[in-house]
């Protein structure tokens, strides 16, 4: 264990991301309806946790901001646990400055307009529609953060149809540098599963990676991020 | 391991619930909104799984119908995994006849009226209200199942206010025999936690149990169920 800790220290001093601070978001957000009910999504957090670990293995100082997951906090990096999109936004702001941000979390687009103080009961009149309001857009905010904008902002797009087209539109709309797009249709088994098949969308075009383990996607993406940031020291 | 299996067999032949079939429901239900989003609640399934195990330890043949949980299936009994309230209803019906039913699951009262085929996108016009419809009432159905009604039907009431009053009303409304009521206000740490503080509501009145581990609640409730069913063989 001591040996592993020493190895970690050496790697952090010598890896290609040594001296860099990278922010990673992962997992779903949960948006409360009342004290016991909430809106959720099927993100397991696996891809984001794997990316955080891969970046740390290249020497980066990593802040992982995670929604509710069943995963243990990865060793060798700082994990900040949150529940809602608004809490995630705050944690992300507090983690800046960063040299790069990888927004892998499946942040809820919407939350209930109001949170009932007590558990909502059936009243015989049938349920009222659940009014929703838009959550803050963490990826767009990071991409427009002015002096605090990370040099590289990577977003994820979880789509179920016309994946590449949606992802290209998202790249432009959000103002980020890369979009990692994946098809999370239930038939693919990707959301919640251990494998991923992604496309990388940049200003230069689209690159499709074969289906591989989420750990392998993470290592390849971390290498790509290290190459994009180049040498030298950053915000760590 | 062989020894444990033999012990299980002997216990199932000699315990006070030997020859009895008991149905237990546990965990939350998830109600899909689209391929990636769903409505959920904070039930961990711990109390229901503990009850199922305690009943099996008294010799019952146990069918555990469980919503999505992070818990392993308990050894020595049949676990049926489901996701939605409607799937749970079907699994419960298929598990009958039973001598007793313990409905511990936090079944969603409501589900989205329609499930979108593809992931719903932000369209710039703001989110539409989420229309909800009522789910089948598993506890009320079991309590009114005619020839297939278990001799003892136990419901749970997860309340956040005026717990005993709500639970008494639920007993009358659902037609079940006992209600086990607990206060799941976040401050209690009960929902998702390891302890429980319950009140048992029957036609004869209310009994309050001190706060104790969910395993201890389960053993005490299993003893009570064995006493209520008395001796002799049943539907197993």
Q: CA–CA separation, B59 vs B229, rounded Å?
A: 13
Q: What does the block give as tokens for B204?
A: 């004869």
Q: What is the pLDDT of residue B235?
A: 59
Higher per-residue confidence, A140 vs A165: A140
Q: What mean pLDDT is predicted for residues B140-168?
A: 92
Give B65's pLDDT tier (boundaries 50, 70, 90). very high
Name the residue with tokens 């199922």: B52
> Are B160 and A131 a contacting pair at CB < 8 A?
no
- The residue-averaged pLDDT of A55-69 equals 97
Distance CA B16, CA B229 (A): 9
Mean pLDDT of chain A: 92
Q: State residue A233's pLDDT score.
A: 52
Neighbour tally for B8: CB within 10 Å: 15
Residues of chain B with C-beta less than 8 angstroms from the C-beta of A85: none
- Using the Cβ of A211 and the Cβ atoms of chain B, whether some distance falls under 8 Å is answered with no
pLDDT, tens digit, for every residue of A92-145?
Answer: 999 999 999 999 999 999 999 999 998 888 877 888 999 999 999 999 999 999
Look at residue B141 in the predicted model and tell me its pLDDT: 97
- Percent residues over pLDDT 70 in chain A: 94
B75, A197 contact by CB (below 8 A): no
Q: What's the pLDDT score for residue A185?
A: 86
Question: Is-catalytic flag, B135?
Answer: no
- Residue A184 is predicted with a pLDDT of 85
pLDDT digits (tens, 9 = 90+) for A204-219: 899 999 999 999 999 9
Nearest to A159 among B119, B130, B131 (CB): B119
User: B1 versus B220: which is more confidently predicted?
Assistant: B220
B23 near B98, Cβ under 8 Å? yes
Q: What percent of chain A has pLDDT over 90?
A: 75
Position B232 pLDDT exceeds 60? no
A2-108+134-229 carries CATH number 3.40.50.720: no
Q: What is the pLDDT of residue B165?
A: 87
Q: How far is CA B56 from CA B13, B46, B67, B106, B121, in A?
A: 11, 15, 19, 22, 47
Q: CB of A140 within 8 A of CB of A149?
A: no
Q: Any idea which of A167-171, B18-22, B158-162 has the lowest mean pLDDT?
A: B158-162
| Mean pLDDT across chain B | 92
| CATH fold group of domain B2-109+135-229 | Rossmann fold (3.40.50)
- The residue from A41, A135, A182, A196 that is catalytic is A41
């Amino acid at each position: 264990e001591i040996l592993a800790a020493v190895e970690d220290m050496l790697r952090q001093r010598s890896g290609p991301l040594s001296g860099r601070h990278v922010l990673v978001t992962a997992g779903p957000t949960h948006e409360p309806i009342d004290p016991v009910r909430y809106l959720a999504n099927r993100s397991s957090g696996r891809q984001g946790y794997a990316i955080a670990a891969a970046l740390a293995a290249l020497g980066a100082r990593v802040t992982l901001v995670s929604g509710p997951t069943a995963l243990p906090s990865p060793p060798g990096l700082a994990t900040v646990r949150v529940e809602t999109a608004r809490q995630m936004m705050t944690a992300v702001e507090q983690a800046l400055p960063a040299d790069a941000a990888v927004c892998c979390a499946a942040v809820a687009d919407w939350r209930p307009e109001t949170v009932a103080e007590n558990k909502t009961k059936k009243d015989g009149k049938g349920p009222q529609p659940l009014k929703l309001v838009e959550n803050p857009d963490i990826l767009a905010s990071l991409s427009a953060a002015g002096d605090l904008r990370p040099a590289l902002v990577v977003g994820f797009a979880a789509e179920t149809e016309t994946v590449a087209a949606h992802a290209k539109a998202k790249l432009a709309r959000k103002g980020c540098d890369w979009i990692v797009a994946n098809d999370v249709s239930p038939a693919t088994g990707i959301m919640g599963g251990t494998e991923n098949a992604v496309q990388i969308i940049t200003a230069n075009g689209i690159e499709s990676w074969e289906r591989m383990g989420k750990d392998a996607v993470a290592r390849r993406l971390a290498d790509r991020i290290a190459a994009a940031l180049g040498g030298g020291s950053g915000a760590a």
